[in-house]
Amino acid sequence: MDRPAAVSRVLIYVFVLNLIVAFAKIALGAISGAVSVLSDGFHSLTDSGSNIVALVGVRIAAQPPDREHPYGHRKFETMASVGILVFLLLVLVEVLWSAVERLQRPASPTIDAISFVVMGSTLAINIAVVWYERRAGKRLSSEVLIADAHHTQSDILTSITVILALAGVRLGYPLLDPIAAVVVAVFIGFACWEIFQDTIRILADRIVLAPDQIRRVVQTVPEVLGCHQIRSRGPSDHVFVDLHIWMDPSMRLDEAHRVSHVVKDRLMTTYPQIKDAVIHIEPPPK
């Protein structure tokens, strides 16, 4: 199975599990009146929505390069990660709004043993999803899977917080319910920051491979006298490199061209994540 199909399969499995978790929490929150559980349920529902955004992004990113997109469509997957970030920001606003309303108008939710069973079960599912999705993301070098795992990881922390809050409500401290909703918002905000850092690195063309790493490979070709102006950009698994190599001025053009292809092949063999390398030939500086 090729990479886009493998990423899509993981997202479909995760989507189904996230949907089950979200509906279970929303139903429990509506029945019990616990704003923390309801907020956590809407948070989980955005997991399913972000899975759909990611699936669309992966399908588009799998398209080959064309005349209008000579570098391919790989960044559409990164843009899907931005879609996940937008979903999280919307949930963050909704959770904070619900928590403030409950703090202004306190109410005691109905908490029983079923509440803890439902929250414990959804917590176990979330832990399994994060482990599975993060492992698949590293294996497939997919930032959209890793970003989505970050999103689901915040569900684990929020679910633990909500379970503790429900225990406090059961002991007679109903104020812990909206306070837990605020803590949920903090976890969501942290997940937003992590995804923002990952996506901005790619969209801003931050360096991917250190120049010294590339230089060491280039200098293994005997005919090359040196190199400079080394640049790299793109996602970690879809890197573009360009650099200048110094050649003997007396070398024939066809020979210098052959050597440049040796350099390119050696770079792409050493670093398989390099999809293309543009090499400029020039004499060494005087």
Amino acid at 13: Y
- pLDDT the model gives residue 113: 86
Last residue of a domain, one of 180, 203, 226: 203
Contact 57/11 with Cβ under 8 angstroms?
no
Task: Say if residue 21 is in the same domain as residue 80.
Answer: yes
Per DSSP, the three-state class of 278 is: strand
Q: What is the residue-averaged pLDDT of the chain? A: 84
Residues 197 and 243 in one domain: no
* Res 38 pLDDT > 90: no
Longest distance between any two alpha carbons in the chain, whole Å: 87
Check whether residue 29 and residue 113 sit in a common domain.
yes
168 and 215 assigned to the same domain: no
Q: To which residue do tokens 């928590």 refer?
A: 99
Between CA 273 and CA 278 the distance in angstroms is 15
Q: Mark whether 12 and 148 lie in a shared domain.
A: yes
164 and 237 housed in the same domain: no
Same domain, 273 and 190: no
Place of tokens 């605020």: 182
Q: What is the pLDDT of residue 43?
A: 76
Cα three-residue angle 28-34-35, rounded to 5 degrees: 110
Domain-terminating residue out of 185, 203, 221: 203
Check which CATH number belongs to the domain holding 251 and give it: 3.30.70.1350
The answer on 83 and 196 residing in a single domain is: yes
* Domain enclosing residue 90, as ranges: 3-203
> How far, in Å, CA of 74 to CA of 72, rounded?
6
Residues 216 and 199 in one domain: no
Helix (H, G, I), strand (E, B) or coil at 171: coil
Once rounded to an integer, what is the mean pLDDT over residues 177-196? Answer: 81
Do 187 and 238 belong together in one domain?
Answer: no
Query: How many other CB atoms are there within 10 angstroms of residue 120's CB atom?
Result: 11
pLDDT score recorded for residue 1? 56
CATH code assigned at 38: 1.20.1510.10
According to DSSP, residue 68 is labeled: S
Of 98-102, 129-133, 162-166, 221-225, the least confident: 98-102
Question: Which of 203, 222, 248 corresponds to the end of one domain?
Answer: 203
DSSP 221-268: STT--EEEEEEEES-TTSEEEEEEEE--TTS-HHHHHHHHHHHHHHHH
Which range has highest mean pLDDT (89-98, 132-141, 183-192)?
Answer: 132-141
Are 176 and 222 members of one domain? no
Q: What is the per-residue pLDDT across 78-132, written as a single tens digit (0 to 9) for each?
A: 777 787 788 778 878 877 887 887 777 777 777 888 889 999 999 999 899 989 9
Whether 254 and 119 map to the same domain: the answer is no
**DSSP assignment letter at 205:** T
Domain count for the chain: 2
Write the CA distances from 28 to 59, 98, 183, 223, 272, integer angstroms: 35, 16, 19, 70, 48
Model confidence at 189, pLDDT cuts 50, 70, 90, reads confident
Cα–Cα distance list, 151 to 126, 133, 147, 154, 258 (Å): 10, 11, 6, 6, 48
Q: What is the pTM of this model?
A: 0.66
Degrees, nearest 5: CA angle 115-116-117:
95
Q: What is the pLDDT of residues 197-214, one digit of tens each?
A: 878 888 888 898 999 999
